[in-house]
Each structure stands twice: as structure tokens, then as C-alpha cells.
Amino acid sequence: MKGKHLLSVHDLSQAEVNRIFALAKTLKNKQRQGEEHQLLKGKTLAMIFQKASTRTRVSFEVGMWQLGGKALFLNAGDLQLGRGEPVKDTARVLSRYVDGIMIRTFAHDEVVELARYATVPVINGLTDLYHPCQALTDIFTAWEFKGELQGKKLAYIGDGNNMANALLETCAKVGMHMTVATPPGYEPPAAVLAEAGNDARFTGSRLEIVADPFAAAQDADILYTDVWASMGQEKEQVARRAAFAGYQVNSELLKVAKPDAIVMHCLPAHRGEEITDEVMEGSQSVVFDQAENRLHVQKAILALLLGN
């Protein structure tokens, strides 16, 4: 993987996904046992943020430090990008200073252009289209709790957003089934479904879009949800709250999933909207295990892309 970009999970082979998971498990164990694992000593990561962040910033910054490297927080407003410098110029300049670039932004095309002109690996920390690092973390977490992933079912309840898109691609890579329950008009883009479908043909993954959340949750191994209105959609919040009123992960929905189903949320959560406090704090919730695993999975991604 050294030298590659990570713009979406579709960029990775199934073998590369498995390699990320294996290394994440190793690095997690090393950290918990207090073993040094400075695989990126002397390396530097530029982190460009055009969207607010808690987990992405802290996990990448701490991760680089634990790997022996250095992370630079670059607020877009403080860069010349914020004053109109072309993305391609920023990409070529940063490539001469740092060993990798992570960007969290709105337009996916901006990340694609950054990668086109950068001569160091570019990692998509989130765009409006994909959230690959989170999706890889989520399926790694599923692997930790459920073991063999082939044939397991993930039911995603809510907006067909960047999170749903990234999970569709990741489930397709590892042979998991995924059903998205979303109101008409909020489905994942057809192009994303087609791309994930190509991978699903080789892994036996079954991908479905339905309107009924209870049909989606039936016999699910994993129930997953995300906020109804993402960053940049604040003006749609009232309309979205009405559209998604029946798409809450609650105790009634949990009853139709498998008895040992786990519940996931990528955070931040709007408790009482897309998920109830009862379920999020319940014994089947692995939400904070997910959050921790951002650190371990991203360390594996960084080590494989930037390291030797």
C-alpha cells in the first residue's frame, strides 16, 4: 500500500482491507501492552480541516505521535486555500514538505484533485460523498465482536449519506450483507451502489435499499445509524426530522434483529432522534469501542501508506 492514496474503500483490494485489520489489531495490542511501535519515526502528516472534528483530528494527531511521527493541524482558513490558491498548487507545495496529507472537507472532487497533484499519499478524512476511515473502523469493530465477517448482515437505518456510501463499499469488500433503510429520496447515489455492486459480485455480498426500517433490521447482526442532518445540511434539519421520524434505532427495532446484535453509531449522536439514549447506553452498544478503534485503524492506514 505504500505510496497509494485512500480516497474511498473502493480504492483498496480485499487483501489490503484484511491487511489494515491485521495491523490495526497488532498495533492495538502493542499500545495496550505498552510496547513501542514507532513505525513512522521522522514522518510528518499534514491535516487539512474544512469541517469541524473531534474524533478525526484527535485520532490522527495522537496516532501519528504514537507512531513516532508528527501531525500538523492546518485549518483551511489559515491556509492559502482559504484565499483562493488552487488545490493543485497546495498539493504540490505540501508534497515537498510532508510525507502524507489527510483532508476533511465538503466536496469529494477537491480530494480527488488534491490526490491527482500530490506526490505523497492523500487520505480522505471525510467528504460529503465518503467517510472511508470511519467505515473501515466500523467493520474492523464488527470483526472484533462478530469474528468471521462473510455473510454477516449490517442494517443501516437513516440517511443515505457519506457514511452509508462508505459502509456499502466496505461491506462489499469483505462479503457482508448490508441493507439500507431510508425514506424515498434519501437513498445512496446510484453510482455508489453500482461501484459497490461490482465488488459484491466477487465476494457474495448482498446490498439492498428498502424503505421499511423493520424489514432492514430483521435478523441483522449489526444495527447502524447516523445523524439525520450532516454538517452543511443544517437548513434542512426541520424537513429531515419529519422525513426520518420513523427511522430511529430504539428498543423496538432492536427486538427484530438477532438477539446478540450489536449497535453502532459513528458519532456525534443526536440522542432522542436517530437513536435512543436507552439503546446507545445499553449492553448491545459498541459505540465507544468504535470511537476508540478510529485510533488503531488509522494508525494501521498511516503505517501502511507512509511507512516502509
One of 5, 10, 108, 294 is an active-site residue; which one? 294
The average pLDDT across 216-241 equals: 90
Give me the helix-helix angle, 162-174 and 190-203, nearest 10°.
20
Q: For position 236, what pLDDT does the model report? A: 84
- The average confidence (pLDDT) of the chain is 96
Alpha-helical runs (H) found in the chain: 14-32, 55-66, 87-95, 108-117, 132-146, 162-174, 190-203, 213-217, 237-243, 251-256, 277-280, 287-306
Q: For position 234, what pLDDT does the model report? A: 76
CB 67 within 8 A of CB 80: no
For Cα atoms 288, 46, 128, give the angle at the middle one, nearest 5 degrees: 60
Residue linked to cell 427511522: 247
Model confidence over 254-291: pLDDT tens digits? Answer: 999 999 999 999 999 999 999 999 999 999 999 999 99
Q: For position 82, what pLDDT does the model report? A: 61
Q: What's the pLDDT band for 230 if we cut at 50, 70, 90?
A: confident
Q: For position 258, what pLDDT does the model report? A: 98
Considering the chain, tell me which residue range(s) the CATH 3.40.50.1370 domain(s) occupy: 14-131+291-306, 134-288
Q: For position 74, what pLDDT does the model report? A: 95
Question: Does 266 qualify as catalytic in the annotation?
Answer: yes
Can you tell me the distance from the alpha carbon of 51 to that of 273, in angstroms, rounded to the nearest whole number?
22
Residue linked to cell 469474528: 147
Q: For position 52, what pLDDT does the model report? A: 87
Question: Does 294 qualify as catalytic in the annotation?
Answer: yes
One of 128, 159, 199, 226 is an active-site residue; which one? 226
In the predicted structure, residue 2 carries a pLDDT above the cut 90:
no
Can you tell me the distance from the alpha carbon of 239 to that of 277, in angstroms, rounded to the nearest whole number?
23
- CATH code of 134-288, in short, is 3.40.50.1370
Question: Does 171 qualify as catalytic in the annotation?
Answer: no
One of 10, 221, 266, 298 is an active-site residue; which one? 266
In the predicted structure, residue 30 carries a pLDDT above the cut 70:
yes
Lowest mean pLDDT among 80-94, 145-159, 187-201, 217-231: 80-94
Name the nearest CA neighbour of 201 among 174, 171, 172: 172
Answer whether 0.95 is exceeded by the pTM.
yes
- CATH code of 14-131+291-306, in short, is 3.40.50.1370
Question: Does 221 qualify as catalytic in the annotation?
Answer: no
Q: For position 77, what pLDDT does the model report? A: 81
Q: What's the pLDDT band for 233 if we cut at 50, 70, 90?
A: confident
Question: Does 134 qualify as catalytic in the annotation?
Answer: yes
The annotation status of 1 as a binding-site residue, yes or no, is: no
Instruction: Please name the residues in contact with 222: beta carbons below 8 A apart, sequence gap of 6 or more.
Output: 142, 146, 152, 153, 154, 155, 261, 262, 263, 264
The average pLDDT across 182-199 equals: 96
